[in-house]
Amino acid sequence: MSKLLNTELHKLHDIIVSMLVITLIYAVIGAFRSMSNRNTIYLGFGELLAIFAILICSVTGVFISQDFENNTVRNKLIIGHTRLKVYFSYQIIFALLALILTAIFIAVYILSGKIFFYMEVFRSEPLDTEAMKVLKENFFKALPVYLTAVPAFTAAAVFIPTALRSVAGGVLTVYLAYTINSLPAFSDFFPNNKFIEYINEILPSSQIFLMEGLSPQPDFSPLKYIAFSLAFAAVLTASGYALFRKADLK
Amino acid sequence: MEYVLKTNGLCKQYRNFKALNGLSMNIPKGSIYGFVGKNGAGKTTLIRLVCGLQFPTSGDFELYGVKSTDSKISRSRSRIGAVVETPSIYPSMTAEENLKIQYRLLGMPSFDGIEELLKLVGLENTGKKKAKNFSLGMKQRLGIAIALCGNPDLIILDEPINGLDPQGIIEVRELILKLNRERQITVLISSHILEELSKLATHYGFIDSGRIVKEMSAEELEQACRKCIHMEVTDTKILARVLDGMGIAYKILDEKTADVYAKPVFSRLALELSKEGCEVISMTEHDENLEGFFMELVGGARR
């Protein structure tokens, strides 16, 4: 497994550097946007993180689908790497990459927000102290969920290209990442619909939006969301591997 | 004889189509095994099974004595290198970078040997040129170089000369011969270009409709394709005695037929046979090449 991880890391070198630069720029721009809207970084973060998750999933999907499109996945199997190791090397690398980049994104976002705040760049009317306190509390309570949700979402981005085993897998991952990220909007069209609420709690991409807000969330349990995210990742990983294990490759 | 690969009744079925239908073959160690068959005969399917890209519907194979059903088969596979149909390369990387990736996959401690490999396949001067800009022949040679990373004992080449120009064909042929002679690498090479295979192979496996129709060594094939006069006489015992007397090589096929491997003076031969009370019924010139032999085999199998 270490050989595969080492190889994937080297192959991803340029992509990691580019992603890092994009993350830094996006975090600063994101903080700028949030501050310019309401003079706080604790509102509007969910939307930014959801777009960030789409970006990571797109990179994951395209990278893996290219391995199948160029048939380079053969080179791993021919020399004796098992399918289990091949699948999990993808999963581990991209989940870790997502985790690290999300952590960097959040850190730079908060830091940039603080700098903008002290520089008094924005003169808009700040929210009242009580609202600020709730927003900040919700934001930091949700941090562990944010850090789990994005890596968990990559399980879908690994599943799709390995199931389709062609460039279509990459395209579909990008499309589905966007579509799934739009699901929370359904709760606006169907308020109090239990099924949609339930789906939104399970999907890591939707969880990102649930915790943000101006109202206190006394019954909010980060552990529940984290458990849902991990279960989501586990089910998709197990299904993805089951499909890949017996698949006929070209 | 020691075999690197033995298959036992391998079957592979895709819905209603049987790509392999009980295929059994043996590849001797150190040989260049020419795998001959028409398009769709099952050559690539067998190669995919051996390489672990697909799984047999039934039957199994042994690679270096390890059964395909054994979990240790992965370790045996680390001794092989293969180019299946098209070379598996990273188009946006240079030849050297492609080899480095393969070295990392193999867990090689250093990149020593990459330069030598590039030289061996004639890609040492490609520099920063990306693989996507390579000619078909260069891509094919890069695929072979990737297959050679980690010094495999067996390399599997599926139609390696497809799409190559005459110069490329000669280069690939010489490379395969060099690998076999200098590094004692066993080579399984599939092709439907029989003329080319006949310049390389030490052993042959003829495949048709997912089955091995015949396995033979190059010597046996040469014998079978040797230019001769096919004679039908009333008594081959007399024919043998007369030909011995004339110092002519021959092979008795049955009581009435024989192959004579020279052009004797027929009037004298007929006279001698007549004196012994043996009549010549027919004489036909037999000049078969590998292609003719293959067609006869495949046709025979179909009947």
DSSP letter string, A209-221: HHT-SSS--TT--
Looking at the structure, do residues B87 and B7 belong to the same domain, yes or no? yes
Q: Which domain covers residue B235, as residue numbers?
A: 226-287
The verdict on B106 touching A (C-beta cutoff 8 Å) is yes
Report whether pLDDT(B301) > 50.
Answer: no
Residues B204 and B268 in one domain: no
B298 domain-assigned: no
Q: What is the mean pLDDT of chain B?
A: 86
Same domain for B263 and B129, yes or no, is no
Q: Are residues B212 and B233 in the same domain?
A: no
CB contact A165 to B (< 8 Å): no
For residue B283, is it within any domain? yes
Say what percent of chain B tops pLDDT 70. Answer: 97
Per-residue burial over A79-115, b = 16 or more CB atoms within 10 Å of its CB, e = otherwise: bbbbbebbbbbbbebbbebbbbbbeebbebbbebbee
Using CA coordinates, name the residue in chain B closest to A79.
Answer: B78
A245 contact B CB<8A: no
Look at phi and psi of residue A43 and say left if phi exceeds 0, alpha if psi is from -120 to 50, else beta: beta
The reported pLDDT for the residue numbered A127 is 66
Strand partners, A124: none
For residue B297, is it within any domain? Answer: no
Q: Is A72's Cβ below 8 Å from some Cβ in B?
A: yes
CB contact under 8 A, A7 and B48: no
The CA R_g of chain B, rounded to the nearest whole Å, is 24
Task: List pLDDT tens digits, range B61-88.
Answer: 998 888 988 888 888 888 899 998 888 9
Cβ contact A70–B102 (<8 Å): no
How many residues does this entry show for chain A? 250
pLDDT (tens digit, 9 = 90+) per residue, A160-214? 888 888 778 778 877 787 777 777 777 677 777 777 777 777 777 777 776 665 5
Q: What is the CATH number of the domain that holds B259?
A: 3.30.70.100
CA distance B3 to B197: 21
3-state DSSP call for residue B246? helix
- B119 and B230 housed in the same domain: no
B263 touches chain A (CB under 8 A): no
pLDDT at A215: 55
pLDDT band at B168 (very low <50, low <70, confident <90, very high): confident
Q: What is this structure's pTM? A: 0.81
Same domain, B8 and B86: yes
Between chain A and chain B, the number of residue pairs with CB atoms below 8 A apart is: 83
The answer to whether residue B293 is domain-embedded is: no
Residue B295 inside a domain? The answer is no
Interface touch B89/A79, C-beta < 8 Å:
no
A81 contacts B81? CB cut-off 8 A: no
CA A197, CA A118: separation in Å to the nearest integer?
39
Distances (CA, A) of A22 to A17, A52, A55: 9, 10, 10
State the burial class of residue A148 (Cβ atoms within 10 Å of its Cβ: 0-12, 13-18, 19+): buried
Taking CA–CA distances from B63, the nearest residue in chain A reads A80
- Cβ atoms of B213 and B41 within 8 Å: the answer is no
Look at residue B199 and tell me whether its pLDDT is greater than 90: no
Q: Same structural domain for residues B243 and B101?
A: no
* pLDDT value for A212: 66
Query: Within a domain: residue B299?
Result: no
B142 with B250, same domain: the answer is no
* Chain A residues 3-32 within an 8 A CB cutoff of chain B: 3-4, 6-7, 10-11
Please report whether residue B163 resides in a domain: yes
Sign of the dihedral defined by the CA atoms of residues B88, B89, B95, B98, in that order: negative
Q: Give every residue of chain A whose pLDDT is below 70, as ranges.
A: 121-127, 187, 210-220
* B244 lies in the same domain as B189: no
Distance from CA of B284 to the nearest CA of A (A): 47
Mean pLDDT, residues B215-226 taken together? 80
Residues of chain A with Cβ-Cβ distance to B106 below 8 Å are: 3, 79
Distance from CA of A21 to the nearest CA of B (A): 21
- Tell me the C-alpha distance between A50 and B270, whole Å: 95
Mutation target to probe the B interface, by most B beta carbons within 10 A, among A12, A75, A77, A250 is A75
Q: What is the 3-state secondary structure (H, E, C) of B40-71?
A: CCCHHHHHHHHHCCCCCCEEEEEECCEECCCC
Distance CA A133, CA A139 (A): 10
pLDDT of residue B302: 43
Copy the structure tokens of residue A110: 């908060």
Whether A200 and A184 have beta carbons less than 8 Å apart is answered as yes
Q: Are residues B204 and B230 in the same domain?
A: no
Query: Cα–Cα distance between B7 and A151 in angstroms, integer?
Result: 44
8 Å CB contact of A78 and B102: no
Task: Confirm or reject contact between B130 and chain A (CB < 8 A).
Answer: no
CB A148 within 8 A of CB A229: yes
Q: What is the pLDDT of residue B303?
A: 37
Provide the pLDDT confidence category of residue B192 given band limits of 50, 70 and 90. Answer: confident
| B8 located within any domain | yes
Of B73, B86, B105, the CB nearest to A75: B105
Chain A interface test: which of B88, B97, B134, B142 (most A C-beta within 10 Å): B88
Taking the Cβ of residue B124 and every Cβ of chain A, the question of whether any pair is shorter than 8 Å is answered with no
Of the residues B5, B44, B48, B53, the best mutation for testing chain A's interface (the one with the most A CB atoms within 10 Å of its CB) is B53
Contact call for B53 and A80, based on CB within 8 A: no
Do B131 and B71 fall into the same domain?
A: yes
CB spacing of A246 vs B55 below 8 angstroms: yes
Is A76 touching B (CB cutoff 8 A)? yes
CB contacts of B48 in chain A (<8 Å) are: 248-250
Say if the Cβ atoms of B54 and A72 lie within 8 Å. no
How far is the C-alpha of A152 from the C-alpha of A96, rounded, in Å? 10
B94 and B118 part of one domain: yes
- Asked whether this complex has an ipTM greater than 0.90, the answer is no
Q: Which of A76-90, A189-203, B183-197, B235-249 has the lowest mean pLDDT?
A: A189-203
pLDDT at B129: 92
Any chain A CB within 8 A of the CB of B109? no
Which pLDDT belongs to residue A237?
92
Q: Residue B55 and residue A70: Cβ atoms within 8 Å?
A: no
Instruction: Domain count for chain B, please give it.
Output: 2
| pLDDT value for B47 | 93
B81: left (phi over 0), alpha (psi -120 to 50) or beta: beta
Who among B53, B100, B150 is closest to A74 (CB)?
A: B53
Q: Does B179 have pLDDT greater than 50?
A: yes
B203–A contact, CB cutoff 8 A = no
Measure the CA–CA gap between B150 and B167, rounded to whole angstroms.
27
B107–chain A nearest CA distance, Å: 5
User: Residue B125: which pLDDT band, with cuts at 50, 70 and 90?
Assistant: confident
* Eight-state DSSP code of residue B197: H
Is it the case that residue B279 has pLDDT exceeding 50?
yes
CATH number of the domain residue B141 falls in: 3.40.50.300
**Is the model's pLDDT at B174 over the cut of 60?**
yes
From the list A71, A76, A250, which residue is nearest B105 (CB)?
A: A76
